[in-house]
Structure 1
Amino acid sequence: MRLFEVILIVTLIAAAAAQMAKSGANWSRVFTVLGVLVAIWHVLHEGTHWQMFPVLAGLVLLVAWQLLPATRRAVRYPAMKNLVAIACALLSVTTFGLLLIVPMFTLPKPTGPYPVGTRILYLKDSSRTEDKAEKPGTARELVVQLWYPADPSNNHLAAYERRSETIPLTSYRSVLWTNSREDAPVATQGGPFHVLLFNHGWAGRRTLNTFLTEDLASHGYVVASIDHTYNASRVELPGDRIVDDTDGSSLLDTNLHSVSEITETWNKELSKWVADEVFVLNTLQSDNLDQASPWYGRLDTHRAGALGHSFGGAAAVQMCSVDARIQSAINMDGWTFGDLRQRAANQPTMFLYGIAGNSPSPPPNSATMGRAERAEAELDATDRNEVDTSLRQFGGYKVSINNTAHMDFTDHPLVSPWRRWTQPDHISPSRIETIVRAYVLAFFDQTIRETKPALLESGTSSPFRGVKIEHWSSESKAASVETALKPPLPK
């Protein structure tokens, strides 16, 4: 909960309690006036949202009651005094409960030396047509959000999501402020800045890993997060056009389709996502050469990287096979599709995996599995074989993190506080954020900036308990490094 939200709830409860007291009428008026001032500040500066509607309704009710002449309240509505106070208190408690269930979460502060700026780009690739558009021949359209190192500015903090790209339940995110300044000036010191392309997961959205994209930008990277239109959860295009994700769940139903059919569906979508990435990188490369662009001379697109969560991780790794500008790629807890054999030895990859407990689950018994379970087991086995073969041939890292789930590699643990009760054994949001941030940054620093981060130095132990690191040099055997039994290093 944010500061003035808490103050407003407490103030209204105090006003209600004072109204019920025998000699508290004056104090009730004082608290009501204070509540009005706090509410105005909250609406104008924090931004109100649906979770606050009950307490605001309670404040309106209390103001309306106190605006009635005292004689009328005493003579005509004597029984209403306590009822109004109780209603205000209950409405305040309701808001408190809503904010616990659906919180205005706080993104972790970036750890790098640069302030972070962000801006949203609309791009049209006229060389491709959109196969899912209602009008045949429509060009492929994309929305891309950039996070980048910025100069200090007083620009407004950016919202987590644009209001038009939310639904009623998630509309509060349009007034949930990030750590990034809207359209802040690009940093004049340092650079040119290496570009990293980010892909969301299947039916995800470009902002779902803001905890990571902001941090990378603060360390001097320009992160371009792509909404892959018609698969992204909701995208606003020019002309107030809203495009929701096309429901492809039936095409991925393991009870209806074989593994080969599902893989074919994924590979078809994968080729589209990779084409999106190439187009975005080409656009940024052109902007870097355009004297009228704010990115003129500030970008390094020739030594770039790619990363993504889930299916987006597969798209990131596939970029190594089609674009030599991509020096390295990270797949965060996703199966890998496409052709890993096409990447080069100078394009290392990192695979981050979540493990539900403290160790990988034993191989399932195929005799007791249903069709869906057998399909998933087959996909798991194929993925492990492809990834390990690729790592042995070309080098890279595999990082396994105990007590984590698939969505823990995104902002989701912040969005859903009930995780601490429904998944009590999982590591805390702050811990998984620290681990993911550290390994992603170290990997790109090593592979793109050609530094030697201590975190990835071969033969050293990890500072994170519950993390297993496997490192392959090109055409060499894996060297495993188990974590030391000690807590993570302090930030």
Structure 2
Amino acid sequence: MRLFEVILIATLIAAAAAQMTKSAASWSRTFAVLGVLVAIWHVLHEGTHWQMFPALAGLVLLVAWLLIPASRRASRYPSMRNPVAIAVALLSVTTFGLLLIVPMFTLPKPTGPYPVGTRIIYLKDSSRTEDKAEKPGTARELVVQLWYPADPSNNHLAAYERKSETIPLTSYRSVLWTNSREDAPVAAQGGPFPVLLFNHGWAGRRTQDTFLTEDLASHGYVVASIDHTYNSSRVELPGDRIVDDIDGSDPIDTNLHSVGEITETWNKELNKWVADEVFILNTLQSDNLDQKSPWYGRLDTQRAGALGHSFGGAAAVQMCSVDARIQSAVNMDGWTFGDLRQRPANQPTMFLYGVAAGGSLPPDPGTMGAAAHAEAELNATDRNEVDTSLRQFGGYKVSISNTAHMDFTDHPLVSPWRRWTQPDHISPARIETIVRAYVLAFFDQTIRETKPPLLESGTSSPFREVKIEHWSPESKAASVETALKPPHLLQ
């Protein structure tokens, strides 16, 4: 809960208590005036949202009651004094409960030296047609949000999501402020800045990992987060056009489709996402050369990286196979598709995986249904492909204990019930710290060619939840012995 929301709720409860206490009844008016002032500040500066409606309704009820002259309240409505106070208190408590269930969560502060700016851009790739558009021949359209190192600015803090891209339940996110300033000037010092392409998960959205994209920007990276249209959960295109995920999860439902059908669907979508990434990187490269662009001379698209969550991680790794500008890629808890073996050894990858609390025993094949068999087959194929790729080309596998698939996104912040439904999982702050640290260290090592202590061979991890496996490419003569032995384990 935000400061003035807490103050407003507390003020209304105090006013209700004073209203029901004859000796303190005169304080009710004072609390009501304070409540009005706090509510005005809340609406204008914090931004109100549906969870606050009961408390605001309670404030209106309280003010309306107190506007009735005291003599008339005493003579005509004496029995209404306590019911009004109880209603105000209940409405305030209702808001408090709603804010516990659907909280105005707070994103962690970026840890780097740069302030963070953000801007949303619309792009049209006229060289491709959109196969899912209602009108044949429609060009592929994309919305991209850029997080970048900025100069200090008084620009308004950016909202977590645009109002048009929310639904009624999530509309509060349009007044949930991030740590980034809208359209802040790009940092004048320290560039040009390497570009990182971020891909959301299947039916995800570009803002789903803001905890990570803001942090990377604060350390001197320009992060281009892509809404992959017609798969992203909700996208606003010019002309007030709203595009939702039109397929849902049906095409990848293991109860409805075989492994072969699912893989075919994924590979088709993967090719589209990779084409999106190439187009966006090309666009940013052109902007860097355009003297009229705010990005002129500030971007390094030749030292680029890619990252993503779930299916977006597969798209990030696949970029290594098609674009030599990509120096490295990070896949956060996702299966891999396409052909991992087409990337060269100078494009290392990092795979981050969540490990369920207590681990899990493999299911009995005799009791497995068709869906479980399909998932087991996909798991086995992915494990083999990833390990083969790491042995051949090098990279890292980072396993984080007591975490789940959505812990690699902002979801743990959105869902406070996690502490009760998943009590063995590590805290949101802990998983965010770990993911931020390893992703940043990996890109600093592979793009900036530094030597982060976190990834130095032979050192221990500062995180007890982490097991990291490091492979060196087989193609390097100095790595022959390493390649013949089990990967180096850092605990």
TM-score for the superposition, normalised by structure 2: 0.97
Hey, what does 2:397 align to over in structure 1? 398
Q: How many Å separate the matches in 1 of 2:143 and 2:154?
A: 25
Amino acid at match of 1:229: T
Distance apart, 1:358 and its partner CA = 4.3
Hey, what does 1:84 align to over in structure 2? 84
Question: Which is further off, 416-425 or 249-258?
Answer: 249-258
Amino acid at match of 2:59: L
TM-score for the superposition, normalised by structure 1: 0.97
Q: How many Å separate the matches in 2 of 1:216 and 1:51?
A: 32
Tell me the number of residue pairs that the alignment of Structure 1 and Structure 2 aligns.
Answer: 482
Amino acid at match of 1:352: L
Amino acid at match of 1:173: R
Hey, what does 1:436 align to over in structure 2? 435
Asked whether the 8 Å contact 1:328–1:348 carries over to 2, the reply is yes
Hey, what does 2:379 align to over in structure 1? 380
1:480 aligns with 2:479: no
Hey, what does 2:240 align to over in structure 1? 240
Q: How many Å separate the matches in 2 of 1:357 and 1:96?
A: 31
Asked whether the 8 Å contact 1:460–1:481 carries over to 2, the reply is no
Asked whether the 8 Å contact 2:114–2:151 carries over to 1, the reply is yes
Q: How many Å separate the matches in 1 of 2:98 and 2:83?
A: 22
Q: How many Å separate the matches in 1 of 2:64 and 2:100?
A: 28
- SS of residue in 1 equivalent to 2:154: coil
Distance apart, 1:367 and its partner CA = 1.2
Distance apart, 1:76 and its partner CA = 1.2
Q: How many Å separate the matches in 1 of 2:418 and 2:256?
A: 31
Distance apart, 1:478 and its partner CA = 4.6
Matches within 5 A, 1:405-416: 405-416=404-415
Distance apart, 1:459 and its partner CA = 1.1
Asked whether the 8 Å contact 1:122–1:237 carries over to 2, the reply is yes
Hey, what does 1:450 align to over in structure 2? 449
Distance apart, 1:479 and its partner CA = 2.6
Q: How many Å separate the matches in 2 of 1:213 and 1:164?
A: 22
Asked whether the 8 Å contact 1:470–1:478 carries over to 2, the reply is no
Hey, what does 1:314 align to over in structure 2? 314
Hey, what does 2:302 align to over in structure 1? 302
Provide Cα deviations, 1:381-420, integer angstroms capped at 9, x if missing partner: 0000000000000000000000000000000000000000
Q: How many Å separate the matches in 2 of 1:47 and 1:248?
A: 32
Asked whether the 8 Å contact 1:443–1:456 carries over to 2, the reply is yes
Asked whether the 8 Å contact 1:468–1:480 carries over to 2, the reply is no
Amino acid at match of 1:251: P
Distance apart, 1:480 and its partner CA = 2.8
Hey, what does 1:489 align to over in structure 2? none
1:227 aligns with 2:227: yes
Hey, what does 1:212 align to over in structure 2? 212
Amino acid at match of 2:261: E
Matches within 5 A, 1:133-282: 133-282=133-282
Provide Cα deviations, 1:94-125, integer angstroms capped at 9, x if missing partner: 00000001000000000000000000000000
Hey, what does 2:477 align to over in structure 1? none
Distance apart, 1:45 and its partner CA = 0.2
- SS of residue in 1 equivalent to 2:217: helix
Asked whether the 8 Å contact 1:126–1:139 carries over to 2, the reply is yes
Q: How many Å separate the matches in 2 of 1:445 and 1:358?
A: 33
Hey, what does 1:64 align to over in structure 2? 64
Hey, what does 1:46 align to over in structure 2? 46
Distance apart, 1:197 and its partner CA = 0.1
Provide Cα deviations, 1:8-63, integer angstroms capped at 9, x if missing partner: 00000101111111122321000000000000000000000000000000000000
Distance apart, 1:365 and its partner CA = 2.0
Hey, what does 1:37 align to over in structure 2? 37
Hey, what does 1:111 align to over in structure 2? 111
Amino acid at match of 2:458: G
Distance apart, 1:258 and its partner CA = 0.8
Amino acid at match of 1:214: E
- SS of residue in 2 equivalent to 1:119: strand
Amino acid at match of 1:479: P
Question: Which is further off, 249-258 or 273-282?
Answer: 249-258
Provide Cα deviations, 1:56-92, integer angstroms capped at 9, x if missing partner: 0000000000001222211111111110000000000
Hey, what does 1:487 align to over in structure 2? none
- SS of residue in 2 equivalent to 1:158: strand
Distance apart, 1:466 and its partner CA = 1.8
Hey, what does 2:480 align to over in structure 1? none
Asked whether the 8 Å contact 1:354–1:404 carries over to 2, the reply is yes
Q: How many Å separate the matches in 2 of 1:363 and 1:83?
A: 59
- SS of residue in 2 equivalent to 1:254: coil
Q: How many Å separate the matches in 2 of 1:41 and 1:435?
A: 37
Q: How many Å separate the matches in 2 of 1:364 and 1:25?
A: 66
Question: Which is further off, 219-228 or 245-254?
Answer: 245-254
Hey, what does 1:73 align to over in structure 2? 73
